[in-house]
Structures are given as structure tokens and as C-alpha cells.
Amino acid sequence: MSKFFIHRPIFAWVIALLILLMGLLALPNMPIAQYPDVAPPTVRVTATYPGASPEEVSRSVTSLIEDELNGVDNLLYYSSTSDTNGNAQIEITFNPGTSANQAQIDVQNAVGNITSSLPTSVIQQGLRYSKQNSNFLLIVALSSKDGSQSAADIADYITRNVKNSISRVKGVGNFQLFSAERAMRIWVNPAKLTSYGMSMSDVNTALSAQHVNISSGVMGAPPNEESQTISAVVRSNGELTTVQDFENVVLRADTNGAIVRLKDVARVEIGLTSYSNSARLNGKPTAVFAISLAPGANALETEGLIKQELDKLSQYFPAGVTYTIPYNTAPYIDASINKVFHTLIEAILLVFVVMFVFLQNIRYTLIPSLVVPVALLGTVAALLFLGYSINILTMFAMVLAIGILVDDAIVVVENVERIMATEGLPPMQATLKAMPQISGAIVGITLVLVTVFFPLLFMSGSSGVIYRQFAVAMAVSIAFSGFLALTFTPALCATILKPIPKGHHLEKKGFFGWFNRGFDKLTHRYSAGVAGLIKRSVRMMIIYLILVGSAVYLFMQLPSSFMPEEDQGYTITNIELPAGVSANRTVDVIKQIEGFYLKQPELNNIIAVQGFSFNGSGLNAGIAFATLKDFSERTSPQSAASVIAGKATGALLYGIPDATVFSLIPPAISSLGNSSGFDLQLQDRGGIGQEALRAAAQTLIAKATATGIVTNPRISGLGPGPQLQININRDKAAALGVNISEIRSVLGTSVGTNFIGKFPNNGRMQNVWVQADTDYRSDLDKILALKVKNTSGNLVDLGSVVDAKWTNGPSQVKRFNSYDALNISGGAAPGHANGEVMAIVEKIIKEELPAGVGYEWSGLSFQEVQAGNQAPIMMALAMLVVFLVLAALYESWSIPFSAMLIVPLGMLGTAGLTYLLNKSNDIYFQVGMITVMGLSAKNAILIVEFAKDAYAKGTSLVESAIEAAHLRFRPILMTSFAFIMGVIPLVFATGAGAAGQKAVGLAVLGGMLAVTPFSLIFVPVFFVFILRLFKTKPKLLGEQQELEDMALQERQYKDQIYADMNEYTSSRDMEKNND
């Protein structure tokens, strides 16, 4: 194939230009994202049971829904939370790759089977379904500069005029308002009710009967009389619409004409749906909403569209109202992508310098430099065709591929240049002679490097998505590199290079002359050293086994984790106070947290929400997002997000009495959770109860903390608190003629809230709530003094039919896969990895906790376990595939071992450097190790291919190995140094995404630093040892065999001619003699 393109260089240029053109056309159309859609699809089901306790919500709503989920296709796991606000939230997680739309349809169909079994008030408000992303893309704050609009006014404006427009923006998954919208609130005075001989149930009955939407029809609608000449819509005022309408609701009309109206016993106002949430921006009250991405949406594109929509909407904001975006994850995504792009440019420049030092001629250096953009843009075109995006992972692959892309071109150029320098051939003839010598090696290298990533395509879970992104980008770029090395590069060598005199390298002066003479001496010393090592092959194999054992030992010592933590420019602070505290107390704690952060010079903004946290909702919960200044303004290690979060936790956790405050940084992939560290679900599998389960959790936390390796282990969720247990005395109720439904109605409406329906308010349907006024539900005596009506119409004190006592109970009930559960999270101490912590936690659970306590991992930890289980299989498959490719390439089962034996020594370098630097065995490490496996085999192939061919031509086995090592010494060092310099920018990365870049760079750097000298030392020894052991005699294959056959035929032809000439000469001489 190469000969065709050498003779037709324009054809090669056309192919290269077409590849270039396709890449340029594809580039603007490539979607850009920080990561691909890694997170498993999640569907959230939300229900509300007003006035119900967490246990009642869990028993009557959550458990019924969960029972229907177990048969849903592609289900991974599900979790649920039932809280004191009567909210039930079930999150159903599916296998990666499942269609989020189909998952939601399947969930809705399954839950639809039991909808009619749910409590009436739950059915009235409906079940809400959403495709969920666990983290926020951005948070928007609207505030009034002149104070003319309160936070409540702005929140209602957001509900009416902003929410729907933003929700329609492409890529928006969920719109969450942290302030309540308006509602019709009816605050009943039970004392006045009693004075009229009525109870709360009378209010509910009257409102339900009189607040109805009456559809009156059309007057004169067909069929009608022929004389009917008009038709008109009939309207009626059955639905109540204003405060005055509700105030005038008739509760009772006596025969004497006396009327008791709602305003006689209650005050009616347009208030808020809920008073349990408030938000603050930099210490000032504001109205805020958060946006989550839809599954599969592009963060950068969505953020841009949201900003455009907000700019349009802001033109219609009330006077003095403006918006800001104090929390935005998109700039970090953009910065991390740009950072990797800059790393790519730096890698190309460093590789160019290495090539120039070795090749010492702009023309020689230009050829590999021309190949790089063609291969990279060809990769971009292929990725677009395959449905991939430009993201951190594909960019990492391209950075690593830079060294590989120039490798093949360097091998070609170096061999052509060597033949020109040693044999004095012109470029065309030198290229024609060089290509058959190295085509087999290039094909072998390309196949090995492509197929080593092949097993990654079949990995499952979120880690499988990551592996596939990297593997496809690497394999495609390497395939383009190999193709161009056999087509475009030889054409360039034949046309661009100029003839050079024999031995010109050694004749050069200055730096290059000194370099060449020194390198020539080093090459000869190396060849002599190889000869000595081959004589001691048994000793060398013993040393090899020791090194392999060291590699295995170091690999086993590495702690595991999923991905390294990244500084993403913000921290998340979770706030929890004891259950039962007021919202005011929670706000006081938030003010202290704001005070700490506002003093930090690194702070940009802090936005805090009372009543909400990722651990649950309640008056005692809160969350704060502190966004930090740009990386350019945070250059010292002490300004890193993790350090600031640690300082905040240390100052706030122990500095605020009765409050549990943890500042955390988000995980590297935000869609996989809300914080870094481990995520454990401790389950009640034996029916031991909430108290025993919590006691087991406290034991686990104490034991884990005592190790010194697990940091800040905690129960992620709201703790138990004081509860008023009211038990209906059925005997007394029956004796007094009070129905149980009456008791429930009075309690649910007085202490809880009763949902009556909706009313139209300025073009929007909003809720109507009935509740006893504040003073009549503030303590136990007042609750027991509430009146219930018996069957005779008389009022009876609630306290006479119920027994009440104070008790302690859960503020929320959490379940995981149908078991009551507690979510426990924590982190690893410096110098330790998440996998090590998870192993410790598992050991404590199995050895220290009582029977009946089980556990499962969730979130990021679930993915980490899955990835760790797959890693050994992945590496074993990669080695097997490489071996099979080499066996097919060499048509031998034994020769591939001489190339494969070097692979563990590359792993020694990778594991060794990672261990020395206290890094962990994470996904980036595993990807780097797979890459090193391929590169290790590549260096070995360069020697084995030449040695095999020399041996097949009749050179002795030892001489073949020495000659191959001598000839390949320069290209191996050149390509290895080029690759090493290509990863240097990754190793020394700073700023956005630096941790991931360093993890990949260090893994590959360690492997290449080890495998480069080990390949030069051990591969010739392996070749001789294996071929002697298996008594293998290789044969020439492919183009090499054809050339040998042609040379043999030419020699035979010449021999025949000489024989014929000799015979002719002899016969003529005989004739002369006879004459």
C-alpha cells in the first residue's frame, strides 16, 4: 500500500485534505460538555399528605409506591424520604444507558396501579413525576434594590412570570423555587367557632360545598327547536375568587334569619403556601430559584439559553427588581475544557521540540507535525459521527494521543533518514526501501494500541461510560495515525526530504554535532550491553520476576477511589439543628455561617436557604452555597476549595452550639451526587426499629472515627425530635358519640392544614388552605381544648376523647430498596483514599453491628464499587486481546510472549509513582494503566519485529536481537521522549480540572519512565529466551516475504544467466579446440 502512495503523493495529499476538511466541518457542530451523560437516569416521584407524620406518610404513601417499583425494567435501586411536612419523595435510579423518558413512563405506569389506594388528600393534590438531576446547574436570585418589593412578592412574581418561561428552555430539567407562592389562607379562631356551636369540620364542609366550579352549559345548544335563534354560554359564580368571597361563605343559616359567615370565625388573607422557607444572598433576604439540568442536556448550551431568556424577561420585571446568578457551575465547565485545550497545545509544542532535537531538520520535523492536525481533526469527525461530544475525557484522550500520533510518523521518518544517511540513497528510493522494513511494525503497533482499549467498550455502569469515551477517542486517533503513517507520511518523505550525504550526523558541529556523537557512542555501548545481558538471560529472568512481584505488591497497596476530588470553585454547607427548633433559630445559624464566609478573601458570593437541604426539608434544615473567586485569584494551596471547606467545618461545627454544620466540596462529576466522600445506606433488614437502627449507626460512626482514617462520618438526614403523640381513645369516643373521622378532621385542619382546592388569582390557579390560627395550636393545652362535634350535634373537648403524651420520633423516614435506612456519609483523611475508607466501614458493619443490620452503597460509592469490580477483568481482557493480535500478526503462539512480558514492568512504573505520591487507584489511573499497557507492547514490537525478520533471513538468534536493539534504540527513545513530553503539561496542570489531568498524566508518566529503559534492557533478552524455550523459527510474512521471494527469484535468474553464459562459453571453447 505504501508503494502506491509513494509514487502518487498527490493522491495521499487529497486523502489527508479530505480528512482535514471533514474535521473542520465537524468541529463547530460538536457538542461541548464537561463530562458525557455519566449519571444513571433518575426519576423522582413526589406526593404530599398534608398534616401526616413521617411514619404515616411512609406507611400510607411511600411504601405503597415502592411496592409497585420492583418490576420496572432496568431498575438499579430506589430510595425514599418521608418528612414532617407530609412530603413523600421517591428517587428511582436506573441503569446507565436507559432512556430517561422511557424510565419515567414505566414508573408512571407502575405507580398508576395503586393511585386509587392512596389517601384522598394525596390524590387531590396529585403525584408529580420528574426526570431528575441530583445537582443544580445554577441558582438565580431576584431582589428589589429600593425595597419596594418583598421577597414574598418577588417569589410570587417568579411563579407567575418566570417559572414557565425558564422551564421551557431547552435542557432545563427542574425548576425549584426556594420561596413559596401566594395562596388563600383561612386562619380559623376555634374559640369563636365554639361560641357558635360549631367545629372545624363545619368549616371544611361549608367550604367544600360552596367553593365549587359549576359548568352551567350553553343556553340554546343543539338539539333545539327550529324557532331557537340565539345561543349563549351560561356562567355562574359557584367558584370563590376573592378574599371577600371566602369571607362571606355561609357556615350556618338559622331559621330566624341569623347567618354565621366565615369572617365571623376566621380571618382570610392571600398569604403564602408555606412559611417554612426563606433565602438570603450575601446576608440579605431575597427570592431565589435553582435550575437542574435535564438528563442528557448540555450544561454550557443550557446555561447560555437561560441567560438569554432571563435577559428577555428582565425587561418586564417590576420597577427596581434585578436578577443575579450567584451560583453557576457552567463557568467551571468552560474553564476546565479550555484548560485541557491549552494542555493539548502545550503537548504539541513540547513534542515538536523533542522531534527537532532528534531529527535536527525542519523538514523531518514538519512531516510528523503535518500528521497531527490531520489525525486529530479526523478523530473529531469520527466522534461526531459516533454521537460523542468534546468533553474532558475525549480531550484527555487526544492529549495522550499526541505522543502516539507522532510516534508512527517518527518511526517512518527516522527509518527513511537512517537509510539515506547510511546508504546514501535519495529520498524516493530510501522511502521505498524503508517502508517494507517498518510496515509490519506500524500495523502491529496500531492494532495493539487500538485493541488494548477494546475491552473498555464493554464495561457497564457510569464507569463504563467514562471508559468508552476515552477508549473510542484513543482508538480512533490511533487508527488515523496508523493509516496516515502508511499513506501520507511516506508520500511526504519521498517528496519533502532532500538527499543527505552518508554519515552527515557525525559531521555536524555545535550542539547537534555533540548530541549526535554522544548518542552514537551511547548506542554502541547499549548494543554491547545487550549482548552481555543476553548471555545472562536466566539471571535477567529472575530479576524480571522480582520486578513483576514488586508491581503486583505496589498495585495491591494502592487505595481505591472513583475519581479524584476537583476544586470546582464552590463549597456546599449543610446545616442541621435539633428537631423542633423554630425557623428563626435556623436563620440565626445561617447568619453565623454567612459571617464566617464573608470574612474569607476568596469568597465571591454566598447564598443560603432556610428550610431546605440535600439531607431533607424542615424548619431545622438549611444549606449554603459559597462561590469562590476565579482560580487566577486563588493561587496558593490555602485558597483551594477543599481547604476553605475544611476551615469552615472546623470553625462552624464546633463553634455553633446545637448545630451540625459540614462544609463540603462537590464530587468531580456533579451529576453523581452532591458531595464527595462515601455514601452508605445502613438498612434495617431484621425489623429492629428506628431507634435500634440509629443506635447501630452511632456505633458505626464512633468506631469509624476512632480509626483516624475516616473523617466526619455522619448521618445525612434530619435527626429525631420531640413529637406529640395523640392516641384516640375509641371507648371514650364511642361513649360520647364522637366519630373517628370527626377527630381526624379537626386535628388535620387545626394542627395541620386542610387543602380545600384552588382558586383563580390574577390568571393563576393557587391553593386554598384552612388551618387554626397560630395561637390555638401553639401548645398542648390549646390543642386539647379544641372542640369536636358528636352525633347529637354537641361539642366535646378533644382532650376528652384522646390521650396525649410527649415522645421522641423521626423528623423523616428514609428507606432504601424497601428497607428503613439511614444514609451515612463521610470522607477520607489526608493520605487515604475513599476505597480504603469504604473497606473499613464494611468491616465495622460486619464485625461490630448487631444482626439484622444490613447495608448497601449508593450514589458515587455504588459506581466506585462497580468500577473496582470491573477493573481486574478489564485489564486481563486487554492483555488477552493484545496477545491474540500479536499471535495473529506473527503467526506464532510463542513470539508474542517476547513482547507481552514487558507489560507488567510498565504497570510497575504506573503503580510505583502513584504509590510514592500517595495517589489512588481511580478511573483515571486505570485508564492510564491501560494506555501504558499498549505503549509497553509498542516499544517491544519495534524490537521484536526487526529481530524476527533478521532471524528469519538467517541471522543468528542472538545477533538478530542485538541488531534489532541497535537499530531501534534511537526511535524507541525518540518516540518515548516525545510521549513523555506530551504528558508533562498534564502532570503540572493547575486550575480548573487539574486533579483529573494530574491523575491521568502521573499514571502514564510513571509507566513510560519505567517501561522505556526496561524495554531496551529486557525485550532483546525476552526474544532470545522465548524463542530458545519454544524452539521457534519465525518466517517472513507479507510484503517482507514478497521482497525476499523477488530477491531470490532475481538471484536465481542471474545464476541461470551466468550458468547459460558459462555453458555457452565452454561449448564455444570446445569447438575452437576441436577446430
Average pLDDT over residues 318-330: 87
197 or 920, greater pLDDT: 197
| Mean pLDDT, rounded, for 742-768 | 84
Determine if the peptide bond prior to 223 is cis (ω within 30°).
yes
Q: Please, which residues have CB within 8 angstroms of residue 949's CB and are 6 or more apart in sequence? A: 437, 440, 1034, 1036, 1040
Q: How many residues does the chain have?
A: 1075
How far is residue 1072's CA from residue 1051's CA, in Å, rounded to a whole number? 31
Task: Tell me the angle at which helices 392-423 and 461-486 cross, rounded to the nearest 10 degrees.
Answer: 30
The yes-or-no verdict on residue 882 having pLDDT over 60 is yes
Please state, in angstroms and rounded to a whole number, the distance separating the CA atoms of residues 755 and 122: 10
What is the DSSP track for 142-159?
EEETTS-S-HHHHHHHII
Cβ of 693: how many Cβ atoms within 10 Å? 24
Pairing of strands 570-576, 787-789: unpaired
Three-class secondary structure assignment of 468-511: HHHHHHHHHHHHHHHHHHHCHHHHHHHHHCCCCCCCHHHHCCHH
User: Rounded mean pLDDT of 272-284?
Assistant: 83
Which DSSP symbol is given to 921? B
C-alpha to C-alpha distance for 732 and 738, rounded to whole angstroms: 8
Distance CA 174, CA 156 (A): 18
416-420, 530-534, 955-959, 1067-1071: least confidently modelled range: 1067-1071
d(CA 288, CA 302): 18
Sequence-ordered alpha helix ranges (H) in 386-426: 392-423
Phi and psi (nearest 5°) for 31? Answer: -65, 145
1008 vs 907: CA distance, rounded Å = 9
Q: Which of 258-262, 520-524, 878-882 has the highest mean pLDDT?
A: 258-262
Residue 47 confidence (pLDDT): 87
> How many degrees, rounded to 5, is the angle at CA 10 between CA 7 and CA 11?
80
* Maximum mean pLDDT: which of 19-28, 385-394, 676-685, 961-970: 19-28
pLDDT of residue 294: 79
Q: What is the C-alpha separation between 285 and 278, in angstroms, rounded?
A: 8
Q: Name residue 835's amino acid.
A: G
Q: How far is CA 926 from the centre of its chain?
A: 16
| CB neighbour class for 872 (10 Å; exposed up to 12, middle 13-18, buried from 19) | exposed
pTM: predicted TM-score of the whole model, two decimal places: 0.74
pLDDT of residue 1039: 47
pLDDT digits (tens, 9 = 90+) for 605-639: 888 888 877 777 777 888 888 888 888 788 788 88
Best mean pLDDT range from 254-263, 664-673, 716-725, 953-962? 254-263
Phi-psi region of 220 (alpha: psi -120 to 50; beta: other; left: phi over 0): left
Backbone angles phi, psi at 3, to 5 degrees: -60, -40
pLDDT above 80: residue 718: no
C-alpha cell at 942: 519495534
Output the CA torsion 699→701→703→704 (10° steps). 160
Nearest to 1007 by CA among 1075, 1073, 926, 1065: 926
pLDDT tens sequence across 647-684: 888 888 777 877 888 888 877 776 665 566 778 888 88
pLDDT in the model for residue 187: 92
Cell 428507606 belongs to which residue?
Answer: 815
Whole-number average pLDDT of the chain: 81
Q: Measured at the alpha carbon of residue 475, what is the angle toward residues 877 and 431, in degrees to the nearest 5?
A: 115
Amino acid (1-letter code) at residue 1051: R
Q: Is the pLDDT of residue 959 over 60?
A: yes
Cell of 591: 447568619
Q: Note the pLDDT tens digit of each residue in 413-433.
A: 877 877 787 777 887 888 888
Cα 927 from Cα 401, distance rounded (Å): 13
Q: What is the mean pLDDT of residues 423-447?
A: 79
Question: By three-state DSSP, how is residue 981 classified?
Answer: helix
At 261, the pLDDT band (50, 70, 90 cuts) reads very high
In 528-540, which positions are buried (b, 16+ CB within 10 angstroms) versus exposed (e)? Answer: eebbebbeebeeb
pLDDT in tens, 540-586: 889 889 998 998 888 888 877 777 777 888 888 888 888 777 788 88
